[in-house]
Amino acid sequence: MSVEEWREKSDRLCFHLQASSLLATPKTILAYFSFRQEPDLSSLFTHSQHRWGFPRCVGKSLFWHVWQLGEPLQTGAYGIFEPFADAPALKASEVDLILVPAVACDVRGYRLGYGGGFYDRMLSASEWASVPTIGIVFASAYLPNLPVEAWDVKLQGICTDKGLSYL
């Protein structure tokens, strides 16, 4: 899609998140920096009432760090922006919501990522089980059915440029 269409759809998706009760109260929210035309959530990061966490890939794991608008970022092993290792760390017990990037999601709540398994490994760990998860994807990639593997973790909701659905 064109940059203009990507920006417009990303802005609509962010509008749906902002209009929901998910972002109504101050929270610690895990998000991501857009990669390969994933929906861009950057307009949300200016909301100072939230504490935003972003991942850093280390080996086969995600480590989460607090990041504020304007702080420096580095390019990680996969070409994705990430906080520096000395940024304040976040534990699962501090997190209120996870906005999960996806290449595609289905109506059952399963997602397709870029194949590294980072999110499925993290979300299958017991300390993350009680943290709500919302898949972030454009409506064109919100599908009736995706292939599911034994290790895939079901999300609790999906937000697209057309709206937010709880599963």
pLDDT, tens digit (0-9, with 9 covering 90-100), for 19-48: 898 888 878 999 999 988 899 999 999 867
pLDDT of residue 150: 87
pLDDT in tens, 86-144: 999 999 999 999 999 999 999 999 998 876 789 999 999 999 989 999 999 999 999 99
- Average pLDDT of the chain, as a whole number: 92
Helix%, strand%, coil% for the chain, nearest 5: 25, 30, 50
Which residue is associated with the tokens 């929906």? 39
Q: What pLDDT is attached to residue 47?
A: 67
Task: Locate 143 and state its tokens.
Answer: 């599908």
- Rounding to the nearest 10 degrees, give the CA dihedral for residues 111, 112, 114, 115: 100
What is the rounded distance in angstroms from the CA atom of residue 166 to the CA atom of residue 22? 11
Q: Count of CB atoms within 10 A of residue 103's CB? A: 16
Domain spans, the chain: 3-166
Side-chain-facing half-sphere of 53: CA atoms under 13 Å: 22
Which residues are within 8 A (CB) of 1 and not within 5 positions of it... i.e. 6 or more apart? Answer: 9, 37
Strand extents, DSSP E, 5-161: 28-30, 51-58, 61-66, 74-75, 81-82, 97-101, 104-106, 111-112, 133-136, 142-143, 157-160
Q: Top-level CATH class of 3-166?
A: alpha beta
Residue 72: pLDDT over 70: yes
Write down the residue that tokens 């017991």 correspond to.
Answer: 126
Which pLDDT band holds residue 60 (cuts at 50, 70, 90)? Answer: confident
Can you give the pLDDT at residue 1?
Answer: 86
Query: What stretch of H or E contains 111?
Result: strand 111-112
- The pTM for the full model equals 0.93
Kind of pairing between the strands at 133-136 and 97-101: parallel
What is the reported pLDDT for 134?
A: 96
CA distance 44 to 120: 24
Distance CA 83, CA 125 (A): 23
